[in-house]
Amino acid sequence: MKPLFRAAVLGSILALTTACQADNEAPKKAPAAQAASTAASSIKVENAFARAVPAGQANSAAFLTLVNTSDTARSVKSATSPVAATVELHTHTNNNGVMEMRQIPQIDVPAKGTTELKPGGLHIMLIGLKQELKPGENAALTLTFDDGSTTTVNASIKDITPPAGAGGMQHH
C-alpha cells in the first residue's frame, strides 16, 4: 500500500472512530413523544361538588366530571377526604326496582373521553363525616389514579335534591 493512500485510509478511520466515540459519550435525550404523562396530569377534574348534609348526618356523596386528555385509558382507584373517616367509589344498581349503592374497585376514564359522576350514578361516598357539610363551603377530595399519581380538588358543597326514584335507595 502506498504511504499516501495508507495515511488517507488511517485518517478516515481515525475520524470515524472519534465521531462514534463523541456520539456515544453525548447525553441521551428521550424524544418528547416518549415522555409519559401521569394520569393526574392528563385527567382534568371539572364541576366537583358534594351533597350538603346537616350535623349528625353520617354520610354524603361527591360528584364530578373526569376528562381524560391522553391517548391512554385511566382509572380512579381510590379517594380520600379530610371530611370523612372513609371514602369509597360507588355506583347505583337497580335491583328489582330498588336503587342500591354498591362499592366498586375503580372508576374508568376512557382515552380522550369523559366520565361523569352524578346523583343516581357513579359517585364518591363520604362515610363517617367528621363535620357538617354546609352549602357554600368546600370539601377537599384527593383522587388516586391507576399509576399512583394523585390530584386534590376542592368540591363545593351544594344542596342537592335526590334523583327521582332514589327514595328507596339502600346502601349495601
Question: What is the Cα 113 distance to its own chain's centre?
Answer: 12
The pLDDT value recorded for residue 163 is: 55
Instruction: For residue 114, give every residue at least 6 positions away whose Cβ sits within 8 Å of its Cβ, in sequence order, or none.
Output: 65, 66, 67, 68
CA atoms within 13 A on the CB side of 146: 14
Residue 155: is it exposed, middle or buried by C-beta count within 10 angstroms (0-12/13-18/19+)?
Answer: buried
pLDDT in tens, 86-112: 999 999 888 888 888 999 999 999 999
Q: Which CATH superfamily is domain 39-160 in?
A: PCu(A)C copper chaperone (2.60.40.1890)
Res. 34 pLDDT band, cuts 50 70 90 = very low
User: What are the residue boundaries of the structural domains of the chain, listed by start?
Assistant: 39-160
For residues 38 and 147, the answer to whether their CB atoms sit within 8 Å is: yes
Q: 75: which 3 cell numbers?
A: 382509572
Residue 25 has pLDDT above 60, yes or no: no
SS3 content of the chain, % helix, strand, coil (to 5): 20, 45, 35
Q: Are 130 and 83 in contact (CB under 8 A)?
A: yes
Residue 127 burial (C-beta neighbours within 10 Å; 0-12, 13-18, 19+): middle
What span, in angstroms and rounded, lies between the C-alpha atoms of 126 and 73?
26
